[in-house]
């Protein structure tokens, strides 16, 4: 759920940064980004960036399509002498968000590549 303060910034430049902060605090991005992995085995959310691809409104909802760039982990066995260092490839996913205008409830869906 988004705060009223964040909802009030819809359409303003600071909206994406506030959205990112709230979704990360609620751990709402992990599941859809984990589902969208193409190279790694575990989504890393500590250095992700959001890009607004499309924004539109309906009577009761704000809708947003986002491009998300993030890293994933491919780890070796972590044994002594493991020749494969931990690798963090760059990942990209597109998400569609549906935000209820009056309650701030957000639903997220990873879109097929």
Residue 1, pLDDT above cutoff 80 = yes
pLDDT at 6: 96
Q: How many CA atoms lie within 13 A of 10 on its CB side?
A: 20
pLDDT at 113: 76
The confidence score (pLDDT) of residue 77 equals 58
Query: What is the average pLDDT across 69-89?
Result: 75
Average pLDDT for the chain? 92
Each as own residue / partner, the long-range contacts of residues 105-108 (CB below 8 Å, 24 or more positions apart, any chain) are 105/1, 106/1, 106/2, 106/23, 106/28, 108/23, 108/28, 108/29, 108/31, 108/32
pTM for the predicted model, two decimal places: 0.88
């Amino acid at each position: 759920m988004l705060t009223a303060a964040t909802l009030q910034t819809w359409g303003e430049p600071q909206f994406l940064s506030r959205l990112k902060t709230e979704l990360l605090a609620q751990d709402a991005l992990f599941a859809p980004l984990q589902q969208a992995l193409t190279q790694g085995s575990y989504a890393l959310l500590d250095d992700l960036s959001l890009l607004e691809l499309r924004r539109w409104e309906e009577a009761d909802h704000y809708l947003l399509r986002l491009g998300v760039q993030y890293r994933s982990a491919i780890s070796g066995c972590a044994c002594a002498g493991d020749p494969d260092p931990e690798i963090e490839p760059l990942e990209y996913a597109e998400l569609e968000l549906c935000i209820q205008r009056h309650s701030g409830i957000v639903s997220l869906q990873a879109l097929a590549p």
